[in-house]
A and B are shown apart, each in its own frame.
Chain A
Amino acid sequence: MNTEHALQLIASGRWSEARQVLHALLVDPALLQAEVDEMLPRCQALLMQRNHGLASALVALFRGVEPIDRLFEGVDARRAAELSAWHHARTGNQAAAAEAFLRAERWAHAALALQRAGEPARAHELWLRLLQRLPTQGNDGGQRAFAAPSGVIGVDNPVGHGAAGSYLMALLAFQLGRGPGKQPSAQESWLVSCQRHLEAAACAYGEAGESERAFDCYVVLSELGHVQNAFENLIEGFLGCARVVREDGLHLLALSFLQKAAHMADAKGEYHAAATIWDDAAKQAAATGLPYVRSLREAAGAAWLACARRYRQLQMPQSMVRHALLASAHAFVAADVPARAAEAVGDLAQIAKGAADPARYEQIVRRLLAASGTDQPAGVMPPETDTRFANVWEVDLLEWDLAGDPFSTAIALIGSAAVPIVVRRRALALALLLVDGHSAPNELAPEQQVQVARTIGELRVYDALAPLERLFLSNDAAVRRAVVQAIRGLPYKRSFGILRRALCDPANVVVQEATRVLARFQFAHALAPLAAIARGATTPEVRYAALEAIGRIQTPDAFDFVLRWCREDPSPPAISVLGTFRGSIVAQLAREAGQLGVPDVIRSALERII
């Protein structure tokens, strides 16, 4: 199979076979991009000759080399508009892109393009129309773009209900509130509405175990804080993000959010808040065995010192100043930097003049300075992990706008310059599967849906989840099974939504496939959802599949979970998972657990670890 073969098949009018060959070529990582680049112009011309206008236009969009409007003869008007829109968006012509998105009835895409094109008033109007046309409880509305469920809306949550509905309302209100409105009070009302819906959504998502969604809510909340210049929302957003990722075991990322929150608090003059955040960061680093405890304590000491000096400047009560100085000295001592502790105690001696016993503090300063020769080398701060996540307040609206349509999702990937070429090639392969006018998944034959699900799985990007969620609604068990297989390569928390539903599917084949996928899942940050599945499982197969996946996580937390499990249920599969843990920290924990007294069967597994 090679590129010439594919071209010959197109030239001889054997489109169906040609499409299969093109698909195989595009997803083949061994095929060099140079070969693809050489094949595609000829492919595009041949497709045009053979009246495959849409396929030809897709290739043109992928290549991004020419205006593609002339290729649309015979192509469905909405599809043509959508292709045209992405072409214009890619070439930077946002005004033309907006008009094309409007023709394609991709309203959120159109509104964002209008914003980028410098037409905020029209964008505002569009957001308003979108909000007004949202079907709410008892008011279905029946609008195509809003009726179809997608990942954002959630298959079990019609718009206007539950976490997904609240989240969507929040995103729309955010767009309405941040744009330039005629009445500031109205803008403010939209932002207030956004905040209340975000709070509801974050809470509901958190309680449903969809932590990745709760995280998105906190990202938007911090952005809301930026727009309002409101410390309360900024800090709630940052600390919410830190809490969610910490609960997911992403301790370094959690520290990064705390660092960011502390810097932000400092910049806003909220010194007290900054100091407590550094304190928390140091405690978290200590609790998780991260090597940044000293540096974070030193940062806490410095923040308390800054806080105390600020309080003095503001002539706040002496007890508050003294207190901040004591906290500073304590943090510096704990960080093994007595010289800096002496600085804080020196300030204490100053404020004690004429009141308490300055001599006592001066004595402590002398002792600290005497010990300062033994200062340890400076500690290392945690690495600055990038905490700038995609603009979820836009990305999630765009995803909702596409309503889980695989063809539109593919076009969006092909048309985006920011997407890696490997993904764009796979997206082109997916789009070519769907060029015959049946892009709505439920209009395809079940075997085609199975192939579409597999191809979507090959995309290996987050964007694949919404079309898969939609395909999972199929009545055909073979399609649902294919969806479950497809999520194997999509290690996102959101994948657990499909997995959880598949594990209680009425069709046995789907449950069995989900159990197989679960047992082979390799996802380092999925302890919480896996533990929930293990605890809630009604069959031993699912229970031990989840334990097996937890065994692959290999962190101290995962070890602790399995060890506790084995104490309750020392069955051979559980003990076997326990014995797979390795690593020095886990070995230390195993040693300590062994000393506390455990049944022999657990002891032998612990000995294997040690």
Chain B
Amino acid sequence: MAFDFDVPAAERALLTASCVVPRTTELEARAVGWWRSLNRLGVEMPLVIVHDVGRILATPLGSYSVVLDVAGLTPAMKREGDAYVSALGALAATPTTHRLASLRLRDAVVVGLLARLLGPLAIASRSRGGLPSTDDSPVTRFAPERAQRSWALIAAARERLVLAIELLDLDSVLALMTLGDDADELGSLLDIVTLLDSPDAQDAAAFSLELMASLSDSQQRNAVNMASAGGYSTLERRGSLESLLVSEFALDDELFLLRLRDNELLYWGRERDDERDEIVHWFVIDASASMRGARGVFARGVALSLGRVFVGKGHAVAVRFFDSRLHEPMRAGPRGLPVASVLAFRGENGRYLDRCAKQLLQEIVTRRASGQLVVHFITHGQAQVDKATMQQLAGRCRLQVIFVEAESRPEWSDVAAHVDMIAAEDVFKREQRLQRATRLVQKVKLA
């Protein structure tokens, strides 16, 4: 995340009112980055609040204290300050906060969490006539009365904030940290915010994690590589900083440096196929309204978890949604799958499968890249399409079709290399899930 220090002087001055100490230049720089991203998302909050709440979420317990250490306060201001400290303390004390802090959240995820927690407060404050100034006013020195207004905002919302953090579903955060890449752009930030605010997307995240665990159980160990591609599969003594085990950061500085010098630090190793065939997987997922509910959850969950397996094998993976048109591909990059984008994607702009199939065929026909293409077509049982088009499609790629919660399969599906009919009980029950997931991966082993 790019930090931009060009913030209003009044905001920077207000940081004096911070109650999460010690303040460091580095953490303030991160907070400024969060603050600017929140502003771009339309969540206007004083920098001091963003700093304090963000730090509680993002930094390990024990690395900070929550105290009121501001001079020159009137008794009324002191009371408000104490209430603020108490609210921050309550926030920091929840088990969810502890677990979040232990995850070493990326900045984009911190921004997403802050937007979810502080967004409703910002809206409510705006409708009540505004927040403590976030504009570029000429005030450059600390103004205690402005601090008091910021503190009051959090103190008044204490219960709501604590509940919001307690009721946060950690699966989606874990999915973002485990499966996905980082988000620097506003679009990706919006996706993360949408994901954290959408029970539907969170369900898909939870399901993909479940399915991935099943797939890991069923996979044979492959060779290992140190390149920044592929899924983690083993522990190594060498690697890049990004794959360093989180527990290594818990070492004190001296021991850490010693272990680094002696190559004793542990890194995650990535799995690698022995035969790196040029294999490209397109997960073509129905995003029409017909997929509402469990169908959509399954479709995205299976695409993410299978996608990760194939990325781990060194294959190229892209996810494509369709409704009344075929949407642009979301490709897995060097840092993994675009999890937030896949989970937050919202289609439902009608449904026109015939056109989408023709678009897909056209793209395959004009595709320049070499390598074998596997199309995983995930849709519902009422999906009707021109059989001739699908026949042509099947002639140019390996077509695997998954019908979710379908009672019968449409006639056109005869042309596919493999068809899976998956009912809810298959999807959601552990044994069947494992069996199904394993079979799905095995079917992809190309002739």
Q: Which residues of A pack against B, CB within 8 Å?
A: 192, 195-196, 199-200, 202-203, 206, 214, 228, 230-233, 235-236, 239-240, 243, 265, 270-277, 279, 304, 311, 314-317, 319-320, 322-324, 326-327, 329-330, 333, 345, 357, 360, 364, 367-368, 371
Contact = CB atoms under 8 A, between A and B. Distances in A.
A599 to B, nearest CB: 20
A316 B207 CA distance: 11
B14 interface: no
B382 A315 contact: no
Interface of B: 95, 159-160, 163-164, 166-169, 171, 198-200, 202-203, 206-207, 209-210, 288-294, 297, 324, 348-355, 380-386, 410, 424-425, 428-430
Given A319-B171, A324-B199, A235 B324 contact: no
A549 to B, nearest CB: 27
Nearest to A316: B428
A324 B385 CA distance: 34
Nearest to A242: B289
A319 B160 CA distance: 24
Contacts of A271: 293
A326 B332 CA distance: 30
Given A320-B207, A323-B169, A326-B167, A240 B159 contact: no
- Between A196, A202, A323, A327, the greatest number of chain B beta carbons within 10 A of the residue's beta carbon is seen for A323
B203 A272 contact: yes
11 contacts: A196-B386, A200-B352, A200-B354, A202-B351, A202-B352, A230-B381, A265-B293, A322-B169, A333-B164, A333-B167, A367-B159
Given A272-B203, A324-B199, 5 more contacts: A239-B289, A320-B207, A323-B169, A330-B164, A368-B163
Contacts of A311: 428
A232 B380 contact: yes
A316 B429 contact: yes
A355 to B, nearest CB: 13
Contacts of A195: 382, 384
A73 to B, nearest CB: 54
Contacts of B430: 317
Contact of B199 (A239, A279, A315, A371): A279
A319 B384 CA distance: 33
A265 B292 contact: yes
B203 A320 contact: yes
A323 B289 contact: no
A275 B199 contact: yes
A320 B208 CA distance: 11
Contact of B350 (A240, A326, A330): A240
B428 A202 contact: no
B201 to A, nearest CB: 10
Contacts of A243: 348-350
Nearest to B123: A286
A190 B353 CA distance: 17
Tell me which of B166, B199, B202, B349 has the highest count of chain A C-beta atoms within 10 A of its own C-beta: B199
A232 B428 contact: no
Contact of B159 (A206, A326, A371): A371
Nearest to B411: A192
Nearest to B169: A326
Contacts of A274: 293
B383 to A, nearest CB: 8
A203 B290 CA distance: 15
A204 to B, nearest CB: 9
Contact of B290 (A232, A323, A357): A232
A323 B171 contact: yes
A196 B384 CA distance: 7
A348 B382 CA distance: 36
Contacts of B159: 367, 371
A320 B428 contact: yes
Nearest to A276: B200
**Closest 4 interchain pairs by CB?**
A273-B293, A327-B199, A232-B290, A272-B293
Contacts of B210: 317, 319
A277 B293 CA distance: 9
A373 to B, nearest CB: 13
Given A232-B382, A304-B199, A320-B428, A199 B206 contact: no
Nearest to A272: B293
B167 A276 contact: no
Contacts of A228: 382
A196 B383 CA distance: 9
A202 B350 contact: yes
Q: Residue among A203, A228, A232 with the most chain B CB within 10 A?
A: A232
A326 B384 CA distance: 36
Contacts of A231: 290
A576 B352 CA distance: 43
A359 B48 CA distance: 33
Interface centre among B166, B385, B424 (most CB of A within 10 A): B166
B190 to A, nearest CB: 15
B384 A277 contact: no
B288 A236 contact: yes
Given A270-B293, A327-B199, A319 B206 contact: yes
B121 to A, nearest CB: 13
B294 A323 contact: no
Contact of B166 (A270, A322, A364): A364
Contacts of B169: 322-323, 326-327
Given A276-B293, A367-B163, A323 B428 contact: no
A319 B209 contact: yes
A347 B32 CA distance: 40
A317 B428 contact: yes
Given A199-B351, A272-B297, A235 B203 contact: no
Contacts of B160: 333
A199 B356 CA distance: 11
B56 to A, nearest CB: 18
A541 B95 CA distance: 65
Contacts of B348: 239, 243
